[in-house]
Amino acid sequence: MSDQYYRLPLDFEALLQRRPLARCSEQESIAQHLYLMLTTYFGESRFDPTFGCVVWEQDFEAMTNMRWKDTVQRSVEEAIRRNEPRLEQIKVAVAVEDFELKGVHQRIRKRLEVTVRAVLPRTNEPFGFKADLFVAPLAVS
């Protein structure tokens, strides 16, 4: 039962050639789904325009104020409650920090850190997830 979920991204070449697709555990499947929610803006999924979160609709200039962080936190919690039935007792923490990118063009970007703590109701196990996203413009670490 531990490897009944498909790993993302799907290998469509293998699918078309009828080879087995890579599998993953339930925890990894949930983590992949949460990451997809975080990196999807509302309306991007034509099958469900409510899938995603508010991060990409917010004004990035105002992202250090508490209201922005609270809005993002509530949006992520609601997205998880609505789209991930394998989790309960969901708690989301959001932090924003300046991150210095070193190299030829040294610059400072905003990094959004999202931490999710929840429980898998099927087994009553704790579940943890953390993602760092560079915002304005979007980039993933």
pLDDT value, residue 53? 87
**Is position 14 within any domain?**
no
Q: Is 114 exposed, middle or buried (0-12, 13-18, 19+ CB in 10 A)?
A: buried
Residues of the domain holding 100 = 26-140
- The residue behind tokens 């670490």 is 141
Q: Cis omega before residue 121 (within 30°)?
A: no
**Is position 99 within any domain?**
yes
Determine the Cα–Cα distance for residues 141 and 137; give it in Å rounded to an integer: 13
Whether the pLDDT of residue 6 is over 60: the answer is yes
**Is position 16 within any domain?**
no
pLDDT digits (tens, 9 = 90+) for 78-102: 999 999 999 999 999 999 887 766 6
Tokens of 137: 């413009």
**Which residue in 66, 70, 72 sits closest to 52, CA to CA?**
72
Query: With the CA atoms of 62, 63, 67 and 69 taken in that order, what torsion angle do they form, in degrees rounded to the nearest 10?
Result: 170
**Which residue in 26, 27, 48 sits closest to 37, CA to CA?**
48
Determine the Cα–Cα distance for residues 29 and 36; give it in Å rounded to an integer: 11
Strand partners, 108: 100
Domain count, the chain: 1
Tokens of 86: 């394998």
Instruction: Count other C-beta atoms under 10 Å from residue 9's C-beta.
Output: 8
**Is position 20 within any domain?**
no
**Is position 7 within any domain?**
no
pTM across the whole model: 0.82
**Is position 3 within any domain?**
no
pLDDT digits (tens, 9 = 90+) for 32-82: 999 999 989 888 889 998 898 888 776 555 565 678 888 889 999 999 999
**Is position 90 within any domain?**
yes
Residue 133 DSSP symbol: E
Whether the pLDDT of residue 124 is over 80: the answer is yes
**Is position 109 within any domain?**
yes
Return the CATH number at 92. Answer: 3.10.450.40
